[in-house]
Amino acid sequence: MGGAISLLAVNFVIAQIFTAAFLVIAAKSRSRRAALHCAGGFAVASLAAVFEAVVPFTSFPRFFAIGAFASVLAGFCLLRFGLGLFYRVPANWQMLVVFFLASVTLDLAIYDLPRGTLQHAALYQLPFFVIQAWSASVVIHSKRRSAADWILLWLLALTSGYYLLKIYAAVAAGSGATAQDYVSSPFALISQALGAVLIVSTGLAMLGVMVKEIVDDARARSEIDLLSGLYNRRGFTERVIPMLQLREGRLPGTLILADLDRFKLVNDSYGHHTGDEVIRQFARVLKDVMPNHAVAGRLGGEEFAVFLPSTDLEEARVVAHGMRAAMMSQKIDGFAEQARVTASFGVAAIAKGEPLEQAMQRADKALYAAKENGRNRVECAEAPQNMVNPLVPQWIGRP
């Protein structure tokens, strides 16, 4: 009995640790409700250890035995609900309540059946198998497929299989003739030991997917320019470079650099609040005009970049002209009725194997030429050395 009681105490402490961990996650994650339900699940399930430890010493074993069953199942139902919130595969809470009440009623009905029999073991373990399989189905039906999600899926599936295995173990090892005999039975040691391993493994996997979400969110925030809503320079380059590497042997794409004309004058004349609105408006223009598969970023100040994958120079020039015309038509709040903001564009086709930084330098030269030639225009950059056609002029200016 001492070994089983010790394992019950260990499981109780482990559950409290996970409860605290999920509460910490809830304070940091956008999936706050999901983490709170998971914390509640571990807290409620931990009560089973208390109930089971009391059973051998009480005059009311039925109450505490049913309490142990109900607390574990209630904890698993809360975890199912929390996972549903996290993976956006919500469970119908009424269905969960009906399932829980039906399962507790079943446990009450089989309480007086001989223990250690196939009939009692199968009916007792069936609700736990169902709720764990139900939780595993959440990951399957979600759109998340990271390594952490796969690990959690397999652990949930393994846990559901564990409850099927417990049917055989209860019969083979013996779970005691009565509920009071359970703690001193060989089955109790097996059940609590394997349960501790699965509690730790599954709990860590659940924490892992939620911590990953926090890390991914933090990384995304560090790569997004808060004013424009576009990628910042770091976010832009970290997305474009892999796209270039994936297009080996194909047309890599074209880069457009854009710069708002006389933006300092806008700030000086109308104030920084209006200047910020101009930045936001231009970002909306870029997103509206560029193709869905393109990547846009604000490199700093009034300078922007757009990468058009698998797009040649002529197609990109047309897109740049569309952006230029769209910006000219924008009415900016705080501006005089006839006042408009324009932008200049430099376009450079990226050669196969050409570093992004080199392409950006060529596009920047074209942008400088657009500024020098009167602003509010599109200039196309000269091709890199391995793309130069001697019959084509080095600079092609197209207003």
Active-site annotation, residues? 302
- Judge whether 34 and 83 are in contact, CB under 8 Å: yes
DSSP assigned state of 251: -
266 token code pair: 């806008």
Pick the closest to residue 14 from 36, 45, 35 (CA basis): 45
Which tokens sit at 66?
A: 């049913």
Return the exposure string of 287-326: e unless at least 16 CB atoms fall within 10 Å of the residue's CB, then b: eebbeeebbbbbbeebbbbbbbbebebebbbebbbebbeb
CA nearest to 5, candidates 55, 69, 60, 74: 55
Q: E-strand spans in the chain? A: 253-260, 295-300, 303-309, 343-350, 378-380, 396-398
Closest CA to 230 of 287, 185, 186: 287
